[in-house]
Amino acid sequence: MKVVDFLSPDAIIPALTGSTKTQVLAEMSAFLAARQEGGGKVAMDPLALQKVLEERELLASTAIGDGIAIPHGKLDTVERLVGALGRSVPGLAFDSIDGKPTHLVFMLVAPSNSAGIHLKALARLSRLFRDANFRQRLLDADNAAAIYQTIVEEDNKY
């Protein structure tokens, strides 16, 4: 599985405006839902998505450290796995396990009946984000297109 299988070039926010977990989940939910309207890919209500993500965060923070968070959830209205990537160069409060600011937020939304693909995507993202050089290249990228290209290049290594 490749990241580009569930992340499209138009699903990247190069400069998140939110500075807290709640604000960023709302921002990214609205962003992803707006990009999916009329595209025939998935159907999602931004408020329903935000609620699912916030409920998941109550179990344990999805901020895994090293400036990375991977909020994820499932919706009945989603037909396939879809993701969005948000970047905050200055960092934001996301209740990270290492107590440090979060800079890269990769949101995943899967169909309710898709445990396998959901877990494979989480494993793939965790593997890629372990690389400090890759994380820095994402932070240094000039715009959404450059961020996406960096992901494509890293995706092709494995």
72 catalytic, yes or no? Answer: yes
Active-site residue, from 24, 29, 53, 72: 72
Radius of gyration of the chain (CA): 14
* CB atoms inside a 10 Å sphere around CB 69: 27
Q: Are 68 and 129 in contact (CB under 8 A)?
A: yes
Cα–Cα distance for residue pair 4/154, rounded to 1 Å: 10
91: left (phi over 0), alpha (psi -120 to 50) or beta: left
Q: Which residues are catalytic?
A: 72
